[in-house]
Amino acid sequence: MAAKQCPHSSGCPLFATFQVRSFLRIWQMNYCDATFERCARYQRIIEGKEVPLSLMPNGKELPETGASKKK
Amino acid sequence: MKTTLTLGGCGLLLGFSLSRTGFTDYGELSRMFAFADLRMLWVFAGAVGLCAAGFFLVDRRLFRPTRRIHPGVVPGGILFGAGWVLCGACPVVPLIQLGEGKLAALFTLLGVALGTLLYRRVHARLLRFDTGACDS
Amino acid sequence: MSLFEGYWPAWLGAIALAVVCLGVFLGTGRFLGVAGMLSRLLRPRETERLRALESGLADAETLARAMEEAARAEFGAACDAVPALAERSDAPAARPLPAAVPRPPWIALLVFVLCVALGGLLSAALSGTLSIRWDLGPAYERLLAAGPGAWALLFLGGLLVGFGTQMAGGCTSGHGLSGCSRLQPASLLATACFFGTAVLLSLLLSGLAA
């Protein structure tokens, strides 16, 4: 049974980040490799809206962490 | 700040050079489309060639195909081409024409603005196709 | 050849446009694309909201850490059950993430648009062609219409241009210059379509006007 893969994997900045931390692949397992239609980023693109880097597949926005200052 | 200055300076040069080149003159434009005068075609082709050389020198990875063909490319291109002939403008031109004193461009600009906003609604409610990129 | 009278020769126009396109990329990290900029300019609140959301996530480490926290919040203990992947020696902090380029602030887009108009003003002033007029010249009148009829067509044309460029995902600068020069498939196709359509429609109008 072929696994469905989100067609945006190659272009998605979050997907690229998932690859370098094993911990983060849980996102990939639950969204990109499975029911990617549930991904909030994918839904936004279908709606034709811009997708911020901070938007996670579950629809929540990443808060700033650490000591990063606004550039 | 750097972004604002860059966009300001490049905007100024863009407006100036498109005006000096003839892209805001309907007569010149129609001569280009009729292939009666190839000068403006060469401007475009030359610019593309120079940019290609420039991008290649900066980073070859810029040539990786990230902008993929999606269902809107062909129909959108056709609509744009038709509109271009009807108003003599690609999106930036009415702004330049206004600077030149051609106030009729206000109608063009209004159309462009409304068309831009209208498309968003139409895509979200009717079309809903995948444009294939998070960072379009 | 004069810089300010008559129209520029092809080589000069080509150099100027290339300087603009490359200049925008080198100065902002993003590709020149007027259709996209106009779209963002028309949505100031959303543009600034997206910018605020992304600020602080510009480096890969911060992004990865934030995502880990979000993963814990969402999946809890299941995170620990993910099969381990040997931590790579080429850590993400060494390479910038693809979409880490900050979005231009809305005000920068406004400055761009105003400067473009100013460029037109300077050009007309220096070439002695600056004059207030409500028509687009004899060629337009001959091929299309004059007076209020022309204004209606300009509006309709503008509507098609705005709508079509958004649908195609770019215009002559975005697809034509930035895209084609990098051999992007969508740009090459889009440019062929809009140019081709313009040529055909032009031909038709010339035929009708004759």
Residues on chain C touching A40 (C-beta within 8 angstroms): none
| Range in B65-74, C58-67, C94-103, C193-202 the model is least confident about | C94-103
CB contact under 8 A, C64 and A21: yes
Whether A64 shows a pLDDT value over 50: the answer reads: yes
Region C77-93: mean pLDDT is 56
The nearest CA of chain B is from the CA of A54 a distance in Å of: 12
Burial degree of C157 (CB within 10 A; 0-12, 13-18, 19+): buried
Which among C114, C124, C164 is the nearest to B100, CB-wise?
C124
Contact B90, C170 (CB under 8 A): no
Q: Hey, is the C-beta of B120 within 8 angstroms of any chain A C-beta?
A: yes
Residues on chain B touching C143 (C-beta within 8 angstroms): 26, 30
- Tell me which of B78 and C56 has the higher pLDDT: B78
Whether A1 shows a pLDDT value over 90: the answer reads: no
CB contact under 8 A, A45 and B130: yes
CB contact under 8 A, C194 and B80: yes
Q: What is the pLDDT of residues C190-206, one digit of tens each?
A: 999 999 999 999 999 98
Please give the ipTM for the structure prediction.
0.94
Q: Which DSSP string corresponds to C4-16?
A: SSSPPPHHHHHHH
With a CB cutoff of 8 Å and minimum separation 6, the contacts of C9 are B39, C1
**CA-closest candidate to residue B120, choices C94, A45, C102:** A45
| The predicted structure's pLDDT at residue B91 | 94
Q: What is the pLDDT of residues B25-52, one digit of tens each?
A: 999 999 999 999 999 999 999 999 999 9
Q: Hey, is the C-beta of C114 within 8 angstroms of any chain A C-beta?
A: no
Q: Hey, is the C-beta of C65 within 8 angstroms of any chain A C-beta?
A: yes
Q: What is the C-alpha to C-alpha distance for residues A51 and C86, in angstroms, rounded to an integer?
A: 31
**CA-closest candidate to residue B96, choices C46, C128, C119:** C119
The nearest CA of chain C is from the CA of B73 a distance in Å of: 4
Return the ∠ at Cα B4 (arms to A71 and B9), rounded to 5°.
150
Q: Which DSSP string corresponds to B57-106?
A: HH-GGGGS--S---TTHHHHHHHHHHHHHHHS--TTHHHHHHHHTBTTHH
| The predicted structure's pLDDT at residue C150 | 93
Rounded to 5 degrees, φ, ψ at B27 are -60, -45
Count helices and strands in chain A by DSSP H and E runs: 3, 0
pTM of the model: 0.89
Chains meeting B at 3+ CB pairs closer than 8 A?
Answer: A, C
Q: Which two tokens stand for residue B72?
A: 């809107």
Residues on chain A touching C71 (C-beta within 8 angstroms): 23-24, 26-27
Rounded to 5 degrees, φ, ψ at B76 are -65, -45
Q: Which two tokens stand for residue B19?
A: 């005006």
Confidence band (pLDDT; 50, 70, 90) for C82?
Answer: low
CB contact under 8 A, C67 and A69: no
CB contact under 8 A, A7 and B127: no
- Tell me which of C72 and B102 has the higher pLDDT: B102
CA–chain centroid gap for B30, Å, is 17
